[in-house]
């Protein structure tokens, strides 16, 4: 019956395909280069105490970047992350200080507010089909305004100790480690497992790759998207707690550098802005790069405006590499 029976041959793997995603590898190399450079510039850079400080500075951006990674993997973007975090921080501190709510309950309420913002973002993206860029640009301003109105632009002080516990440290050998850093690392490991080893996690990638094809296989793509935005909101809430714990106050002006730093961390970490490809641990490395740059440049006595300049250049570089490597793939 068959006129020809040549099997459809598939090409063998080349060494390039066997390598892990080039993006993540490049991020590691960039981190090593940055560390090498700063080590030659400052004696204080390569000390365990300094490294512990960098991680503490990184933990807020790092946790926001988890949520941001999830959204970018679905080919979206969240510009509101830092402002939503600031609102969460104000809500939890004000509820605890002014209404006298027990700290755990106040924290849960704060996380509830950031998750609700995630839900609003997600509903606007999935139900009304608005582009995530515009939606989150709107919620960025809304969250900022609510934060200022609710707090009267006043910092919330005299927090109960339970709210700042994650900022305290314990010692491993001679190095002090903040509990918040441990929490961040655990969340990264958890999300890495979820994205890599579970069906729900793989569906996040599938939606980012080809939403229509994913829908046709019977996956409820809207539910995946909505879940991702809500989950990201939860991570912003946890980041709010970490920010409160680190600074010891509820700051209505928090989140302003973290907003873009988190996106920078994700992009530096090799996650594609076009969606569907990336490794979440790359975002952690990306966040550390941002932290190392800020820390190293500060140690060198460089004015902080140069830190902003360099992060800006790095983001564009990372996106350019993403774009060029995709040309080869497709």
Partner 1 sequence: MSTNQKLVMQAKGLVKRYGHVTALDGTDFELRAGEILAVIGDNGAGKSSLIKALSGATIPDEGEILLDGKLINFRSPIDARRAGIETVYQDLAVAAAMSISENLFLGRELRRLGFLGNWLRMLDKKKMLQESIARMQELKVGIRSMTQPVETLSGGQRQCVAVGRAAAFAQHVVIMDEPTAALGVKEGNMVLDLIRRVRDRGLPVVLISHNMPHVFEVADRIHVARLGKRAAVLNPKKISMSDTVAVMTGAMPADKIPAECLAH
Nearest distance from C-beta of residue 77 to partner 1, angstroms = 18
For tokens 């390598």, what's the residue? 19
Which residues pair with residue 172 across a beta bridge? 175
Q: Which of 199, 301, 305, 324 binds partner 1 (CB under 8 A)?
A: 199
Sign (positive or negative) of CA dihedral 288, 61, 126, 221: positive
Q: Which of 13, 128, 305, 324 binds partner 1 (CB under 8 A)?
A: 13
As to burial, measured by CB atoms within 10 angstroms (0-12 exposed, 13-18 middle, 19+ buried), residue 177 is middle
Instruction: Count CA within 13 A, CB hemisphere, residue 262.
Output: 32
Q: Which of 116, 192, 202, 310 binds partner 1 (CB under 8 A)?
A: 202
Q: What are the structure tokens assigned to 272, written together?
A: 């594609």
Q: Which of 47, 141, 168, 217 binds partner 1 (CB under 8 A)?
A: 217
Site string for partner 1, 241-280 (x = CB under 8 A): -----------------------------------xx---
Q: Is 327 in the site for partner 1 (CB under 8 A)?
A: no
Nearest distance from C-beta of residue 32 to partner 1, angstroms = 26
The whole-angstrom separation of Cα 26 and Cα 278 is 12
Q: Is 223 in the site for partner 1 (CB under 8 A)?
A: no
Q: Is 15 in the site for partner 1 (CB under 8 A)?
A: no
Per CB under 8 A, the segment of 76-84, 141-149, 164-172, 196-204 that binds partner 1 is 196-204
For tokens 């090498």, what's the residue? 36
Instruction: Count CA within 13 A, CB hemisphere, residue 322.
Output: 21
Nearest distance from C-beta of residue 250 to partner 1, angstroms = 36
Q: How far lies 159's CA from each of 93, 94, 100, in Å?
A: 7, 9, 10
Q: Which of 30, 60, 72, 219 binds partner 1 (CB under 8 A)?
A: 219
Q: What are the structure tokens assigned to 72, written together?
A: 């970018």
Q: Is 206 in the site for partner 1 (CB under 8 A)?
A: yes
Q: Is 12 in the site for partner 1 (CB under 8 A)?
A: yes
The whole-angstrom separation of Cα 280 and Cα 124 is 25
List residues near partner 1 by CB under 8 A.
Answer: 1-2, 4-13, 17, 193, 197-200, 202-203, 205-206, 209-210, 212-214, 216-219, 276-277, 329-330
């Amino acid at each position: 019956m068959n006129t020809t029976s040549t099997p459809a041959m598939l090409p063998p793997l080349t060494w390039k395909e066997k390598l892990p995603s080039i993006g993540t590898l490049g991020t590691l190399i960039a981190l090593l280069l940055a560390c090498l450079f700063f080590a030659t510039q400052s004696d204080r850079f390569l000390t365990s105490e300094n490294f512990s400080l960098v991680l503490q500075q990184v933990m807020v951006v790092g946790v926001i970047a988890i949520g941001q990674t999830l959204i970018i993997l679905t080919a979206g973007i969240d510009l509101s992350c830092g402002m939503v975090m600031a609102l969460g921080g104000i809500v939890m501190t004000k509820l605890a200080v002014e209404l006298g709510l027990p700290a755990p309950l106040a924290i849960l309420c704060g996380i509830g507010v950031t998750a609700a913002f995630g839900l609003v973002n997600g509903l606007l993206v999935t139900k009304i089909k608005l582009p995530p860029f515009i939606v989150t640009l709107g919620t960025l301003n809304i969250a900022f305004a609510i934060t200022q109105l609710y707090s009267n632009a006043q910092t919330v002080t005299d927090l109960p100790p339970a709210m700042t516990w994650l900022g305290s440290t314990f010692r491993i050998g001679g190095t002090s480690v903040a509990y918040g850093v441990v929490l961040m690392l655990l969340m990264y490991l958890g999300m890495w497992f979820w994205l890599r080893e579970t069906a729900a996690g793989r569906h996040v990638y599938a939606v980012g790759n080809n939403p229509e094809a994913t829908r046709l296989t019977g996956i409820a793509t809207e539910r995946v998207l909505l879940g991702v935005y809500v989950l990201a909101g939860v991570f912003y809430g946890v980041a709010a707690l970490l920010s409160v714990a680190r600074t010891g106050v509820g700051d209505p002006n928090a989140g302003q550098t973290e907003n873009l730093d988190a996106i920078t961390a994700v992009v530096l970490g090799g996650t594609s802005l076009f969606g569907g490809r990336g490794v979440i641990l790359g975002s952690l490395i990306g966040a550390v790069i941002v932290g190392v740059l800020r820390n190293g440049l500060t140690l060198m006595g460089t004015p902080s405006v140069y830190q902003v300049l360099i992060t800006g250049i790095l983001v564009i570089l990372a996106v350019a590499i993403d774009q060029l490597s995709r040309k080869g793939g497709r």
